[in-house]
Structure 1
Amino acid sequence: MSEAVSSKLSTRVWIMILTGAVIVTLSMGVRQSFGLFLGPLGLELQVDRQTFGLIVAGQNLLFGLLQPFVGAWADRHGAGKVAVFGAVVYAIGMVVAATAANALGLAIGFGALVGLAMAGCTFTVILGAVGKIVPADKRTLAFGIVTAGGSFGQFLVVPAAQGLLDALDWRLTLAVLGGLIVLIIPLALGVAGKPPAAISAQDGPPIGQALQEAFGDRSFWLLNAGFFVCGFHIAFVGTHLPSYIRDQGLPAEVGAWSLALIGLFNIAGSWLWGAWGSKRSKKGLLALLYALRAAAIAIFLVVPISPVSVLAFAATFGFLWLGTVPLTNGLVAQIYGLRHLSALGGIVFLSHQVGAFLGAWLAGVAFDATGSYLVIWLVSIGLGLLAAAANLPIREAPLVRPETVPAE
């Protein structure tokens, strides 16, 4: 594929970027509100934190396990159909969760169905479509714009969900949020269509050889290691921060606004990390980002907790929240080519979701065992430092292939 996008495609490029950003806004915005439901649904259905954390963890794991296969399908057939399927299943999952009578109903709705759905209408599929039509020097920036959509959704949807919970109940609130997900269906037209025909053997070998190349490359596994830590951090904080804040005697509204502030500051963070990644070393920026996460958590733990300290932490962590996504996907495209961007990006995302599974679940286990989240906070600091170290040795250059492989 040519690295330059024709001026005739400029409108199409922007339509795909903007509609993709809105799709991620809705899918991730609703998903990031789930931590608010732990209190009310846990009380009514007698679901403890460990069980709720396990349900959310299972959702994250299923999301990740399916992502490489869904990504490969989108690489071949386009993102539009995948996004529509994801939206339909997502809405059904929200209805199932809203009518749940016990933990099993939540596991089917929140866990299985939403996990399946998110593989089709979040970052990997949308970024794969965008990456194939954006020029190389703007690709990571475009990824940052789409990623910022997830944070904008968090900023808008999380406070709205808290307001709905205060005015209605958790069941009706889930039904309303499910209605928002339905809006993804018409928006999927903006990312519809097969990948450009120009993407061929010049942009990567057939999928089997591409997998062999990636699995035999140390840089691929280092990317996986870093993204594992990202998932652990985000799932732990996103799922358990509101409860942690309530445990410290602060109002529930502080927890809701902390998640919203994470989303607000990540709008700027995703865009800026993506913009920096278009001009500077992506692996160096990833190492810096993970180190800053570790420092932010350490400072949060030693400063006396108050609404101000919570919101300051949320703003700081928000700036670092999803800046990993454009940088990591940018490296996958830069090193391994565009042909299987969604499939290879999906495998890296699987490691993210394994981390998310452990972050959401182990936090609940640790709290039930010790009555505190302290051990998970400390583990999060250590993992941040390890992720920073893991990114530094990555070989930040296109993979050299001995010969061109004919297109399938």
Structure 2
Amino acid sequence: MSTAPSASPPASPSARPSLATRAPLLVVLCGCMIAMLTFGPRASSGIFMLPMTGEYGWGRDTFGLAIAIQNLLWGVGTPFAGAVADRFGVVRVLWAGAALYALGLIAMAYAVTPGALHLSAGMMIGFGLSGCSFNIVLAAFGKTLPEKWRPMAFGAGTAAGSFGQFLFPPLAAGLNASIGWHETLIVFGVTMLLVMPFALALATPASGPRPGEARPQSIRAALGEAFRHPSYIFLVLGFFTCGFQLAFVTTHLPAYLADRGLSLTIGGWTLAVIGLANMVGSLSSGWLSSRMSRRYLLAAIYFARGIAIAVFVLLPASPVTSIGFGIVIGLLWLSTVPPTSGLVMLMFGTRYLAMLYGFAFFSHQVGGFLGVWLGGLLYEQLGSYNLVWWLSVALSFASAAINLPIVERPVARAPQPA
């Protein structure tokens, strides 16, 4: 007598293939849309400087301080947002960040005092960005995507942010001329809510321990391990320069070009060209990150930036030199992100990737704070941006040198007791 075969136990939810395994391209596309949407308005901040300061009679240092606060708080909030995303998944973090970002943009439209500007453009948008920018997207890519997809996904997510920079500054300039800068900010704020549906595709599981699994590394242990690691310190310090340069150029380049006799439209298109060229640079950097030493790649990027900035400052101002600078600096713009995030993942794994990359990004944003703030402060005192440009050149060469001693291998860990 034959016996009926026993029924197979139903597959547990954790055993089912995730969306990233079944449709990795969809996950990458949704993450890229989030990166594009969130990077665009903050890359357009320089387009709003002259209209706002002109209407309210503020100095450029007042507007610069607001964007400096934004950069600093974006950096301060990113490690904490990353820790929450690592522990509870990224969807809640992306939703909260997008909502705060939207409110900040709308509040900026009604900011009639420096304090209101610093609260909206500075604090609200800064903390909003920490929860919904491409940093959280890249961490979700690292946690969910198959390993072979990760290097190019890091490049694609960074490039998508660059496409936002290509798309939004000319759009901001055009809308400012047609409907006014107040209404433009409101439109951008409502647009940020589109992040929420795209975030669903990036869902990551909570990171709590599973039955029978070795005791997971604690957050405190992960931080101690990272900050005792010299290569991580070098990486964090080098990333400072990237933030200094990006924030200074994004905020002050349109006004710098206007001071040299060019139109605000040329400034907007230069920022747009930077974003377009960076799509090529970021994708190329993601491809190179899986095929060559990441520390040498980072050193080459920083060194080339120093040369490009020096040449730009020495050449006479014209639409040709401005757009040419945009193309060259755009190829190097966010190309530091794929090798930097890849090194963090290589050294420490993916469990606390969002948090540990967040601390590197904090250094980046401290640089951003100083780049924007010093740009406005020194302009008001000296009547020129030249000192900040040359400081940026010096920082480029210093960061090229500081990345060379990085050791590209995983940290050695003692076995965890069960």
Q: For residues 338-357 of structure 1, what are the structure 2 equivalents within 5 Å? A: 338-357=350-369
1:216 matched residue in structure 2:
228
Structure 1, residues 132-171: CA drift from partner, whole Å, max 9, x if none?
Answer: 1223344222111011111111111111111001112110
Equivalent of 1:165, from 173, 176, 195? 176
2:309 matched residue in structure 1:
297
Work out whether 1:361 is the aligned partner of 2:373: yes
Work out whether 1:122 is the aligned partner of 2:127: no
Work out whether 1:82 is the aligned partner of 2:110: no
Structure 1, residues 169-195: CA drift from partner, whole Å, max 9, x if none?
Answer: 110111111121111111111212425
- In the alignment, residue 203 of structure 2 is paired with which amino acid? A
Work out whether 1:252 is the aligned partner of 2:245: no
Contact 2:241 2:396 in 1 (8 A): yes
Equivalent of 1:310, from 322, 327, 330? 322
Structure 1, 178-187 or 339-348: larger mean CA deviation: 178-187
Return the index of the structure with the highest Cα Rg.
2
Structure 1, residues 235-294: CA drift from partner, whole Å, max 9, x if none?
Answer: 000010000000000111100000000000011111110110011111110000000000
- Partners of 1:264 and 1:201 in 2: CA distance: 46
- Partners of 1:204 and 1:197 in 2: CA distance: 8
Task: Give 5+ residue unaligned stretches, structure 1.
Answer: none
Normalising by structure 1, we get a TM-score of 0.95
2:109 matched residue in structure 1:
98
- Partners of 2:99 and 2:175 in 1: CA distance: 23
Work out whether 1:286 is the aligned partner of 2:298: yes
Shift of 1:205: 2.4
- In the alignment, residue 316 of structure 1 is paired with which amino acid? V
Q: 1:401 to 1:163 in 2, by over 3 A?
A: same
Contact 1:80 1:188 in 2 (8 A): yes
Shift of 1:11: 3.7
Q: 1:332 to 1:369 in 2, by over 3 A?
A: same
Query: What is the SS of the residue equivalent to 2:233?
Result: helix
Work out whether 1:325 is the aligned partner of 2:337: yes
Equivalent of 2:35, from 24, 31, 39? 24
Shift of 1:313: 0.3
- Partners of 1:20 and 1:194 in 2: CA distance: 16
Shift of 1:38: 0.4
Contact 2:140 2:204 in 1 (8 A): no
Shift of 1:341: 0.2
Contact 1:77 1:194 in 2 (8 A): yes
- Partners of 1:102 and 1:278 in 2: CA distance: 49
2:166 matched residue in structure 1:
155
Contact 2:78 2:355 in 1 (8 A): yes
Contact 1:87 1:182 in 2 (8 A): yes
Contact 1:16 1:191 in 2 (8 A): yes
Q: 1:52 to 1:303 in 2, by over 3 A?
A: same
Query: What is the SS of the residue equivalent to 2:144?
Result: coil
Contact 2:347 2:409 in 1 (8 A): yes
Contact 1:45 1:103 in 2 (8 A): no
Shift of 1:206: 2.0
- In the alignment, residue 218 of structure 1 is paired with which amino acid? P
Q: 1:46 to 1:405 in 2, by over 3 A?
A: farther
Count of matched residue positions in the alignment of Structure 1 and Structure 2: 402
Shift of 1:75: 0.6
Q: 1:204 to 1:45 in 2, by over 3 A?
A: farther
2:145 matched residue in structure 1:
134
- In the alignment, residue 321 of structure 2 is paired with which amino acid? S
How large is the RMSD of aligned CA atoms in angstroms?
Answer: 2.0
Equivalent of 1:380, from 366, 371, 392? 392
Structure 1, 345-354 or 96-105: larger mean CA deviation: 96-105
- Partners of 1:305 and 1:247 in 2: CA distance: 10
- Partners of 1:202 and 1:322 in 2: CA distance: 37
Query: What is the SS of the residue equivalent to 2:217?
Result: coil
Equivalent of 2:240, from 205, 228, 233? 228
1:46 matched residue in structure 2:
57
Shift of 1:405: 5.4
Percent identical = 43
- In the alignment, residue 127 of structure 1 is paired with which amino acid? L
Structure 1, 200-209 or 164-173: larger mean CA deviation: 200-209
Structure 1, residues 71-118: CA drift from partner, whole Å, max 9, x if none?
Answer: 000011111111111111111111111111111111111011101100
Shift of 1:13: 2.3
1:237 matched residue in structure 2:
249
Q: 1:7 to 1:353 in 2, by over 3 A?
A: closer
Task: Give 5+ residue unaligned stretches, structure 2.
Answer: 1-15
